[in-house]
Structure 1
């Protein structure tokens, strides 16, 4: 089993790196966030780092040695990057506090939207953000309006919602406030 540590660590860090990259992409493009939270990715990258270090004991050929070095380097960089992201998020989440306003569900229960009020104080603006909940931890940001403190949401039918007089057709993937 010890001979397989560097192989498992290599696969684990590739998956972790891919999920972290997709997490960054989905936050920039406001698509469905299917990656687990960043602290889970940090734990996975730490496990890959430990397995990669243990995998140095496997010295069968040049490929296993190279894979061990590659795994340790990738997992170290990913761990440091994710640690900075998690630290940054924890630090600045207290500055621009998000306050949960309310949760609304469609009449048939297929869609659930969480609304948050954000206020960055002197560091930025304030407004309202709406996130559509998916299965597991999946979320999609669908509504963003600055300089507003309240939100009025009314379901027109099972797939259409009016948020502050802006109609969103959720079955067609409509969003408001995001490019």
Structure 2
């Protein structure tokens, strides 16, 4: 199943002097997000695409029955994948949600990270903390018994408390960066 997602009016173009020759309207390449409906990592990419106002097509696959074309594109056999069709007619595949988000950050306007390198590194570190939390949630769902469930629950609770403590510093609440 596929759907085309259009942002609100005024979609941004690529940053001037960007590293790739772009195609499409307004200098935006054709973007296709290969997705699974329940994948939180896909949602990370969808949020970045929405925040940057980028149009894209979204194709859903069943991870229990991965299509051959998907396995040929995905080195890890996981979602998300972002297909990027450039102005040269080339199609490239970017995989792993954090890498896709950084690609979108590097290429398109409306930065989501601070300009200051130390602050930006801090943001990227907290993205990794979020990934760790998502992995903890998956382990919680897959707990084989009450003891494992409790251990995972306590680990998640500590992780969320750490995030809340960080957000409460320097008036960051409710988001990192504002």
Q: TM tier, shorter chain?
A: under 0.3
TM-score (norm 1): 0.23
TM-score, normalised relative to structure 2: 0.24
Return the index of the structure with the highest Cα Rg.
Answer: 1
Greater per-residue strand proportion: 1
**Relative contact order, CA 8 A, sep 6+: which one is greater?**
2
